[in-house]
Amino acid sequence: MSETTVTPTQVELEVGYAGKSIPRKEDQRLVKGEGVFADDLKRHGMGYVHFVRSPYAHARIVSVDVSQAEALEGVYGTLTPDEVAELTDPFFELTTPPGSQIKDYALAVGRVRHIGEPVVAVVAATRELARDAADLVEVEYDPLDVIVDARRAQDDDAPIIHEDAGTNVVWSGIFDWGDIDGALKAADRVVKIEELHFDRFASTPLECSVALVEYERATGQFTLYCNHQMPGVAAIWMGPALRVPLDKLRFVTHDIGGGFGNKITTHTYLTACCLLARKLKRPIQWTEWRTDQHMANAHGNERWFHDIEVAVQNDGTMLGFKVKAIDDCGAFPRYEPLGCIIWAQVTPGLYRWRNIRVDFTQVVTNKSPVAPNRGYSRMQQLWLTERICDIVAHELGLDPVEVRKKNYVRADEMPYETPNGCVYDSGDYARCLDIALELIDYEGVRARQEAGSGKLIGIGIGSTLDSGTNNFGQSTLLNPELQFSGNNEVATIKLDIFGEIVLTLGTVPQGQGHETVAAQVAADILGVSPDQIHVRPGHDSYWNSHAGFSGTYASQFAVTGLEAVKGATEKLSLEIRRLAGAVLGGADPDDIVLEGGFAKRKDNPETALPFMACGAIVNANNAVLPPDVRDVTLNCRYVYVPPFELPDKERKFGNLTLTYATQIHACVVEIDPETGDVELVDYAAVDDCGIRIHPQIVEGQVHGATVHAIGAALYETFAYDEYGQLLTSNFYDYHVPHALDLPEIKTGHIESPSPFSSLGTKGMGEGGGAAIHAICAAIQDALRRAGKPAIVNDSHNPPERVWRMIQNPEETATLVEVTAQ
Amino acid sequence: MKVDGTKEFDAPAQLVWDVLNDPSKMAKLLPGVESFDVQDDRHWSAAVKVPLGMGGLKLNFKFEKVEERPIEYAKLASKGQGVGAIVSMETQFHLTPDGERTSMRWEADVRVAGPIGSMGQRVFQPIVNQQVTNVLNALETQVSEAKDGGTSGAEQGIHAGSPEAYSAEPDGPTHSAG
Amino acid sequence: MLLRELEYARPGSVQEAIQLLAAREDARALAGGQSLVNVMKTRVAAPELVVDLNRIDSLRGIRAAGGGLEIGAMTTYAAIVDSPEVAGARPILAEVARTIADVQVRNRGTIGGNVCSNDPTNHFPPLLVALGAEFTIAGTGGERTVDAETFFEGVYLTAVQPGELLTGIRVPPKNGSRDGWASITLGKDGTGIVNVAATVSGGTARIAIGCVAATPVLVSASADETAVRDAVRSAELDPPSDVHASADYRRHLAEVLAGRAVREAR
Amino acid sequence: MSEHTIGVAVNGDRYEREVEARKLLVHFIRDDLDLTGTHVGCDTGNCGACTVLLDGRAVKSCMLLAVQADGAEITTVEGLSPEGELSPLQQAFSEHHALQCGYCTPGMLVSATYLLSQNPSPSEEEIRRGIQGNICRCTGYVNIVKAIRAAAGQ
């Protein structure tokens, strides 16, 4: 089942590119080092920014003195908190009062609330000088008590991080679907789990955040060459804060060195750069360093689950569960509290559970703000559902494989409506699981476990869903005042004067190969090869090929992006065929076929109009045009709008997302019983994302998402000490997987076409953190097989934690209680 | 991080107290002091270069005596600021006279903020140990000098990089988490 | 990434280097730079003068000497990995060097830099203590030799004084002994959590443990695993606690790894 | 300010420039020579995005001062293939989808080039060891290993 498509180097000219792994258009420039990343740009007279950052997790700013810094030769100027407070308004908050009273600015105003928070910006002629000057800025702080543990944020004696809000709670609400109280009464047993913790980590794209900002005084126009991955949303934050209309903020991206959601909330820095460009009358260049990125940009959401109660029948069938969740969003909400609802896209995981109550609270702490991170908010929920499966199975003495199969939504139930109104479009979870188990030789490993060896062997399964194409109406379930709903994406395609086909996307790719995949879809419609379609790299809001939700996030390109490409290209195809029909003797557009760069009459293929002629006529020779095709522009913009409705705010009910790709992963671990060191010895990832346009790219996304989750499970953690000091601020201590850390990752797939997208595709790429769930399950399996009754209660399991579970399994075993009734 | 320990002196408590409460003598206790300035008997400051192999870490320290009960107890707060690091320290001394000898119990709570704080967690504890050992050795020298009424010992100073500054100290620091 | 202003000198001889180092209080020797440059990027270290040793040829090279080895301080990890002399005399040096970080670091990083920076997680300090290496230090007053037990003085501190230079390391002959190494790292070849080196000779194991105190802790025991573990358990360890491992866990690892290093010594 | 005149040959072109002693080699390559294929992905020498060949050996150019490279021959990603063509490794990276965002790719290609120069037919373990100093956040290294094997004719 493990498959890799070897790409032919020569592509034959033929119709039917979709579904084939053709060489990526992006690769030519990237393998030669000719990619254009934001830090590669330079401008005459530009100044380099260095941010002076807080050494404290929580402190009052007593005074700021930039005089020495400004006096240094080569320094162009500074930006202080007082200036920011005067020149900008706080960024708008998505949540309800009192959380919405939180004031978030480009620099720390009045207080610092996490380590590394930018306090002053200094601009100088060189990077080094800017840093020299930053060292001369004097900031006096009065340290305040800190909160690093989200569980303490609501205590009476907890320091209040945002006095304007008067509480550390950002958002709080209860989601109640079905009848969990009835289910808990009716069930044979109730399994109670006291506490589980989903740890804090981030995908840490290798390219940090960057911007080069120019300001044109004549027009008040800002141009931001940057690597923001969702510029439309950045503009919505920044325009009002800077008190400028949105069109005055032109965003340009080109190649982006990975995003994974971590480049959605850089608007604070971009705003500071805008203010500096305007104040200092010169282009401003900002490059974030890795340590800064770790301390003060975008962590993933950390979440605590308390008082879980699962209603279970003796045969392992589960009726549902209830839980109290506390989400830790760090010092500022920014994209939050959207994480308080996004999880609900996968409320019951892959399971047929009808009764679920979630009491959800999000709080601020003195840690780095969070941002959407690959698998955003769903992977926390999916980790919970997977932990529930394994803990219930082990406590009841059942096989986790059988428990999953018994509870999975079945293929014949698709499309399946979850208790909260989401619609799982298609899939066959049990079949995917069988494939995954076969790939790791499940029976063989079970036999090895029985035989025993020096190492503790464990098998784990992670079953997840990658929900793609958000219905932004879900935000109204958090805040009924918000005016967001649905989704959209744009593509524009034109046939130019010399016959070039130019495709412009609204998406903001960061390595997903959009240029290639979009060209495949357009090529099939236009009857040309993908080589003949120029897809503009990156994004430029001046192209006017974007809409409010444009961007690359939330596993949606294969649906929103490609539907837009398809829509625009079909429009262009129709225009070409109308034009050719009119020129070639008045044929009906349906009687014209596009092939090999010609529009041909079906009844007489020798009668054909080359695309070049089409482009030339419309653009430069239009006096010859027949009157009924004078509306043809050969420049077609299409906005794709998925079929969503507003959710029911009262019941918190509705379809929150359009497609659900499936990931079923299985792994084998070997644990050194003396040290707790976990070695991943076998790994299989089975994916079902419907129809695959470019199988190799899909497989690449599976590899990437898997390794992010492996890193989170074993190595990566943003750990803080009690004073709010980040202990893993660089790649020495924040260990991301290197080549030697990983086994070969086997892949398999099935294709269950989505009934909700015209290409049968589903968004994919985020995955659901399946490796975290699989590795936790495998560790628990190994412990149980060794007679240790421990449960894995944390998503992050470094050697010492595993060693402690081996030494003292009771410590976590006592978190679980099973009552029979 | 909290460190504490005890130290015995072959000198009367008053003498130990005098050394501990004389800023100019205190200055000599600190490793790598480059300059020293006394504002009043409760406030003083020092420019310090903490010796580290890859180059000294320069910090400007301000000291304040926040509490004292002669001759048995004193509490000092200090804060050192430098590039990449802010070191805050709270130090307490308890002296118990034992005839011509004195027993000193001490506690220090050291906090490091700034980029270095996030980098060197595993090395703070040994580095703090080293510095504490230095201070205790220097203190012993000062006390015995004061007892002898001479000054020569202090000036020969314990070179921060010299081996004797770091020899294992039987009554050196112990740790508690923090 | 942005260093403070500094001056740079590139001496061609040890004598010249020592003169430069002795003349300026804030001068630092720059060996492979795989640690020092990093520290300078943070500006926590900011030497005013950097004395680059990379063009002093006499500091490089590995020589077989009386069954043992003489290794120049500026010999890179890569050179140790590839050295036939090392393979013949003390192959453990190559086996350990091979696990330091990665290819690029091994191409620049030097054994002298490794021991002089003396970070508790470094590989060579415990290894060279176990092997009983000797260190040659040159200064304006001439050369002196220091044994491994006294060379390492504290975190980031060694017997090399300001104005001095480590020029070479002498590793004694194997003489029938067996050398072993065991470590737990953060990921494969990542930051060390605990490192243990052992040399077993005539039924006695000489064990040096890294990252359980400011300097490698030397323990001797009879060479069976139980005795080794007992000896480590009763040794005076003062392990740091950090984000990767508590002091207790490090203490436990020291014991387990010491047993393994001895058991697997070859 | 301490300035030095240095001479280097990068991808066969000779340059003579004044540099501040404190300037890192990677900034010299990117900012002074405008060879922006060499990237910066961290500030601690872990990620390998800045890997170049210095006198034929793979090194991380963020861990050297530019002045240290005086007199050296340097190869960056821009020098891996003749004008207009791809090297077998570059070709294999594209064919096997060994890159997604492409940010680590220049350093990865330089490390892989170095590996094959030292060991023309490496095992999978040797390949992984050879790229251990290069972090990729997109591919999980699966297809990178595959591409290097393919370029080595395996």
What phi-psi label fits residue A276: left (phi over 0), alpha (psi between -120 and 50 degrees) or beta?
alpha
Q: Could you tell me the end-to-end alpha-carbon distance of chain A, in angstroms, rounded to an integer?
A: 45
Using a CB-CB cut-off of 8 Å, the residues of chain C touching A732 are: 190-191
Class of domain C178-263: alpha beta
For testing the chain C interface, which of B49, B125, B128 should be mutated: the one with the most C CBs within 10 Å? B125
Question: Which of A131, A291, A675 is facing C256, going by the closest CB pair?
Answer: A675
- % chain A with pLDDT above 90: 97
Using a CB-CB cut-off of 8 Å, the residues of chain C touching B121 are: 240, 242-243
Q: Are A293 and A165 in contact (CB under 8 A)?
A: no
**Could you tell me the two tokens for A558?**
């294969």
What separation in angstroms does the CA of A96 have from each of A108, A365, A373, A549, C5? 22, 18, 23, 22, 50
The pLDDT assigned to B22 comes to 81
The interface predicted TM-score of the complex, written ipTM, equals: 0.94
CB contact under 8 A, C214 and B166: yes
CATH architecture of C7-52: 2-Layer Sandwich (3.30)
| Element housing D5 (H / E) | strand D3-10
Strand partners, A490: A639
**Could you tell me the two tokens for C202?**
């005539």
pLDDT beyond 60 at A133 = yes
Among residues A231, A272, A165, A119, the alpha carbon closest in space to that of A553 is found at A231
pLDDT in tens, B61-107: 888 989 989 889 989 898 888 877 788 888 898 999 988 899 999 99
- The DSSP secondary-structure symbol of A97 reads T
Cβ within 8 Å of residue A356, ≥6 positions away: A175, A176, A177, A178, A180, A320, A321, A322, A347, A348, A419, A420
CB contact under 8 A, D101 and A740: no
| Element housing D10 (H / E) | strand D3-10
CB contact under 8 A, B127 and C155: yes
Q: Are A34 and A249 in contact (CB under 8 A)?
A: no
Of all residues in chain A, the one with the smallest CA distance to D129 is A740
Taking the domains of chain C in order of start, what are their residue ranges? 7-52, 57-171, 178-263
Instruction: Domain C57-171: give its CATH code.
Output: 3.30.465.10
The pLDDT assigned to D130 comes to 98
The pLDDT assigned to B127 comes to 78
**Residue C2 near chain A (CB below 8 Å):** yes
In this structure, whether the domain defined by D88-151 belongs to CATH 1.10.150.120 is answered with yes
Among residues A335, A328, A340, the alpha carbon closest in space to that of A365 is found at A328
CB count, 10 Å around CB of A498? 11
Among residues A103, A246, A238, the alpha carbon closest in space to that of A165 is found at A103
Using a CB-CB cut-off of 8 Å, the residues of chain B touching A726 are: 118
What separation in angstroms does the CA of A302 have from each of A125, A473, A712, B125? 40, 24, 12, 29
Largest CA distance in chain D: 52
What residue spans of A211-313 are helical by DSSP H? 231-242, 267-280, 290-295
pLDDT beyond 90 at A771 = yes
pLDDT beyond 70 at B118 = no
pLDDT beyond 70 at B162 = no
**C199: number of CA atoms within 13 Å, CB side?**
23
**D18: number of CA atoms within 13 Å, CB side?**
3
Using a CB-CB cut-off of 8 Å, the residues of chain D touching C102 are: 48, 132-134
Among residues B78, C206, D102, the alpha carbon closest in space to that of A511 is found at D102
Q: Are A51 and A719 in contact (CB under 8 A)?
A: no
The pLDDT assigned to B119 comes to 66
Q: Are A367 and A299 in contact (CB under 8 A)?
A: yes
Question: Which of C2, C5, C189 is facing A740, going by the closest CB pair?
Answer: C189
Mean pLDDT of A774-785: 98
pLDDT in tens, A392-444: 999 999 999 999 999 999 999 999 999 999 999 999 999 999 999 999 999 99
**Residue B53 near chain C (CB below 8 Å):** yes
**Residue C43 near chain A (CB below 8 Å):** yes
Question: Rounded to the nearest 10 degrees, how much is the dihedral formed by the CA atoms of D10, D16, D17, D18?
Answer: 140
Of all residues in chain D, the one with the smallest CA distance to A742 is D140
Distance from the Cα of A115 to chain B's closest Cα (Å) equals 8
Note which residues in 88-147 of chain D have CB less than 8 A from chain C: 111, 114-115, 129-130, 132-134
Using a CB-CB cut-off of 8 Å, the residues of chain C touching D67 are: 8, 10
Rg (CA), chain D: 15
**Residue B123 near chain A (CB below 8 Å):** no
Question: d(Cα C140, Cα C153) in Å, to the nearest integer?
Answer: 21
Dihedral sign for Cα atoms in the order B4, B7, B12, B18 = negative
CB contact under 8 A, D60 and C104: yes
Taking the domains of chain D in order of start, what are their residue ranges? 3-79, 88-151
For A726, list phi and psi in degrees, rounded to 5.
Answer: -75, 130
Question: d(Cα C153, Cα C160) in Å, to the nearest integer?
Answer: 10
Residue ranges of domains in chain A, CATH in brackets: 39-144+208-256+264-295 (3.90.1170.50), 177-202+298-473+648-820 (3.30.365.10), 489-640 (3.30.365.10)
CB contact under 8 A, A799 and C184: yes
Distance from the Cα of B59 to chain A's closest Cα (Å) equals 13
pLDDT in tens, A670-722: 999 999 999 999 999 999 999 999 999 999 999 999 999 999 999 999 999 99
Burial tier of B35 (Cβ tally within 10 Å: 0-12, 13-18, 19+):
exposed
The pLDDT assigned to B123 comes to 75
pLDDT band (50, 70, 90) for residue A483: very high
The pLDDT assigned to A9 comes to 37
Lowest pLDDT segment from A674-683, B155-164, C75-84, D5-14: B155-164
Residue type, position A407, single letter:
N
The pLDDT assigned to A63 comes to 98
CB contact under 8 A, A719 and C246: no
Mean pLDDT of D55-66: 98
pLDDT band (50, 70, 90) for residue A2: very low
Question: Which of A291, A741, A800 is facing C188, going by the closest CB pair?
Answer: A741
Q: Could you tell me the end-to-end alpha-carbon distance of chain C, in angstroms, rounded to an integer?
A: 42
The pLDDT assigned to A8 comes to 34
Residue type, position A653, single letter:
F
**Could you tell me the two tokens for C215?**
């300097």
CB contact under 8 A, C105 and D45: yes
Q: Could you tell me the end-to-end alpha-carbon distance of chain B, in angstroms, rounded to an integer?
A: 4
Q: How many A/C residue pairs have CB atoms within 8 Å?
A: 59
- Report the predicted TM-score, pTM, of the whole model to 2 decimal places: 0.95
| Element housing A176 (H / E) | strand A169-177
The pLDDT assigned to A538 comes to 95
Q: Are C262 and C200 in contact (CB under 8 A)?
A: yes
pLDDT in tens, A605-648: 999 999 999 999 999 999 989 899 999 999 999 999 999 999 99
Dihedral sign for Cα atoms in the order A567, A571, A576, A582 = positive
Distance from the Cα of D77 to chain A's closest Cα (Å) equals 6
Among residues A245, A253, A365, the alpha carbon closest in space to that of A304 is found at A365
**A180: number of CA atoms within 13 Å, CB side?**
20
Residue ranges of domains in chain B, CATH in brackets: 2-157 (3.30.530.20)
What phi-psi label fits residue A676: left (phi over 0), alpha (psi between -120 and 50 degrees) or beta?
left
CB contact under 8 A, C107 and D43: no
pLDDT in tens, A486-508: 999 999 999 999 999 999 999 99
pLDDT in tens, A285-326: 999 999 999 999 999 999 999 999 999 999 999 999 999 999
Across A498-546, the runs of DSSP E, i.e. the strands, are: 501-505, 533-535, 539-540
* Sheet of strand C204-210, all strands in order from the earlier edge strand to the far edge: C178-185, C192-201, C204-210, C217-222
- % chain B with pLDDT above 90: 11
**SS3 at position A146:** coil
Question: d(Cα D15, Cα A531) in Å, to the nearest integer?
Answer: 38
Q: What angle do CA C141, C147, C153 make, to 5 degrees?
A: 85
Note which residues in 159-178 of chain B have CB less than 8 A from chain C: 161-163, 166, 175, 177
What separation in angstroms does the CA of D42 have from each of A154, A287, C114, D18? 36, 11, 22, 26
In this structure, whether the domain defined by D3-79 belongs to CATH 3.10.20.30 is answered with yes
For testing the chain D interface, which of A22, A27, A44, A742 should be mutated: the one with the most D CBs within 10 Å? A27
For testing the chain A interface, which of C98, C186, C241 should be mutated: the one with the most A CBs within 10 Å? C186
For testing the chain C interface, which of A131, A293, A722, A728 should be mutated: the one with the most C CBs within 10 Å? A131
Q: Whose structure tokens read 């405008």?
A: D34
The pLDDT assigned to B117 comes to 67
SS3 annotation, chain C: CCCCCCEEECCCCHHHHHHHHHHCCCEEEECCCCCHHHHHHHCCCCCCEEEECCCCHHHCCEEEECCEEEEECCCEHHHHHHCHHHHHHCCHHHHHHCCCCCHHHHHHCEHHHHHHHCCCCCCHHHHHHHHCCEEEEEECCEEEEEEHHHHEEECCEECCCCCCEEEEEEECCCCCCEEEEEEEECCCCCCEEEEEEEEEECCEEEEEEECCCCCCEEEEEECCHHHHHHHHHHCCCCCCCCCCCCHHHHHHHHHHHHHHHHHCCC
Question: Which of D2, D62, D68 is facing C7, going by the closest CB pair?
Answer: D2
Strand partners, C52: C30
pLDDT band (50, 70, 90) for residue B151: very low
Distance from the Cα of A131 to chain B's closest Cα (Å) equals 11
pLDDT band (50, 70, 90) for residue A602: very high
Lowest pLDDT segment from A245-254, A518-527, B113-122, D144-153: B113-122
pLDDT beyond 70 at B164 = no
CB contact under 8 A, A23 and D94: yes
CB contact under 8 A, A715 and C187: yes
Q: Whose structure tokens read 């290819």?
A: C103
Mean pLDDT of A590-601: 96
**In chain C, which residues have pLDDT < 70?**
none
If you write DSSP's letter for every residue of A653-720 in order, what string do you get?
A: BS--EEEEEEEEEEEEEEE-TTT--EEEEEEEEEEE-BS-SSHHHHHHHHHHHHHHHHHHHHT----B
Strand partners, B93: B74, B106
pLDDT beyond 80 at B167 = no
Question: Which of A35, A257, A731 is facing D46, going by the closest CB pair?
Answer: A731
